[in-house]
Amino acid sequence: MNALPILGAYLAAAGPPPAVAETVVRSLYPMVSFAANTEPDWDRVRGLFIKQAVVTLRTSRTTTSVFDVEGFINDFVKFAARPAVRAAGFRERVVRLKATEYGDIAHVLVLYEAEVLGVTKPAQRGVDSFHLLRRNGEWKIVSIINEVVTPARPLPPELRDEKETGPMPG
C-alpha cells in the first residue's frame, strides 16, 4: 500500500501550518510605527501578547523599566504624544533577527532601529529578546527585554552580519 495518498489527505485536512514565532515578532515593529499625527492600533498590538506578558525596556541610559502590556502601551502613548514625535511620526524596523523554536516555545533575538521621522541623527539601534508561547496554534509574546547598542555594549555575535566584527555605532 502506498502511504503518500494517506499522508497527503492528512496534511490537507490539517490545514495550513501554524505561523512561525518570527512572524509575530516581525509584525510588532510596523504596528508600533506611525506617520505624523496618527497613532498605532493598540488593540492589534495587545493581540500579540498573552495577558500576563512582561515587557522590560531600557527607558533611559541608566534606567530599565518593567511593564505589563498595558503599562508598555501607556508608556508608548506618552512617548508618541510628545509634540516633536507626534508632528513627525516614528518608526521601528527589524534589521535582522535570529529565531529558535522548540515545540510550543520560541526565542527571537532582534536587532532593530528606532527613529523619530525627519530627524537628522542616526536611528538608535537596540536588541530585543522575545519569548513566545504557542497556544491553540497561535504564537503569543510572553516577554520582551531590550538593551541599546553602544560602544561599551557592542552587538552580540549572533546578530552581526559577516562584515561586522567589532563594536557597532549606537
Which DSSP helix (H) or strand (E) runs through 138? strand 138-148
Q: Looking at the DSSP assignment, which residues form a beta bridge with residue 141?
A: 49, 132
Q: Provide the 8-state DSSP code for 154.
A: P
**For the purposes of burial, counting CB atoms within 10 Å of the CB of 139, is it exposed (0-12), middle (13-18) or buried (19 or more)?**
buried
- Domains of the chain and CATH, by start: 18-158 (3.10.450.50)
How many C-beta neighbours within 10 Å does residue 55 have?
A: 22
Extended strands (E) in 59-137: 64-67, 89-102, 105-116, 124-135
- Identify the pLDDT of residue 86: 96
Cell numbers of 14, please? 490539517
pLDDT value at position 13?
A: 43
Dihedral sign computed on CA atoms, order 159, 161, 165, 168: negative
DSSP 3-state assignment of 49?
strand
Q: How much is the pLDDT for 164?
A: 58
pLDDT per residue as tens, the chain (170 positions): 454 454 444 344 444 444 699 999 999 999 999 999 999 999 999 999 999 999 999 988 789 999 999 999 999 999 999 999 999 999 999 999 999 999 999 999 999 999 999 988 899 999 999 999 999 999 999 999 999 998 898 899 999 886 655 444 44
The CA-atom distances, in angstroms, between 140 and each of 29, 146, 166 are 15, 18, 34
| Model pLDDT, residue 163 | 66
pLDDT of 44 reads: 97
pLDDT of residue 61: 79
Q: What is the pLDDT of residue 59?
A: 84
pLDDT value for 36: 96
Phi and psi, residue 142, nearest 5°: -100, -40
